[in-house]
Chain A
């Protein structure tokens, strides 16, 4: 099965700094790469995603970059704010598994981001 690793496991930054979280995956058939944000006691929230035919995608302060050759993708948050503090998960997905087309997200272990005011 897919092995997914995130680094770092914890990240502490000052408000206004940038934060980068890297996700490494093993399944070369993965073709969809989302990032989820989960605040304490709440649901995972899809914040940005990218598909394998695109190298970079940006949405305001958040961006995702993909390197399919090296099998990793990264979440970039600029101008961090205290409300960005949460656990961030990457969850690569392949479109098909054998003859079955379905969406199985394989989550990393999570990165705890703390933004200090």
Chain B
């Protein structure tokens, strides 16, 4: 198992609400990436945080936002939830030494939007 942790494990929200998901990176890692995995599909890149700043973003609308803290942990915030936001949200930590290889995933947060 990796040292990457996520909370909460499961979450049920109503359409239009806001949600915050949390991720603690593996010891020694300074970069956190977030992915969305819909049922039966591969994970899709949302964005990456390095040195407390967004360091690359996938094709997700601005209502998906994030933060990284000085201890390298991270939050993913989603506003105005839609039914299609129901998915497994995964964070992955890595060490950026000019590039980030070897990303290690946390167990994920299962978000259900009703």
Interface residues of A (CB under 8 A from B): 1, 32, 34, 36, 42-46, 49, 51, 89, 91, 93, 95-97, 100-110
Contacts and interface: CB of A to CB of B under 8 A. Distances in A.
A110 B41 contact: yes
Interface of B: 2, 31, 33, 35, 40-45, 48, 50, 55-56, 58-59, 90, 92, 94, 96, 98-108
Contacts, number: 77
A83 to B, nearest CB: 16
Contacts of A96: 99
Contacts of B33: 103-105
A34 B105 CA distance: 13
Contacts of B92: 105
B41 A104 contact: no
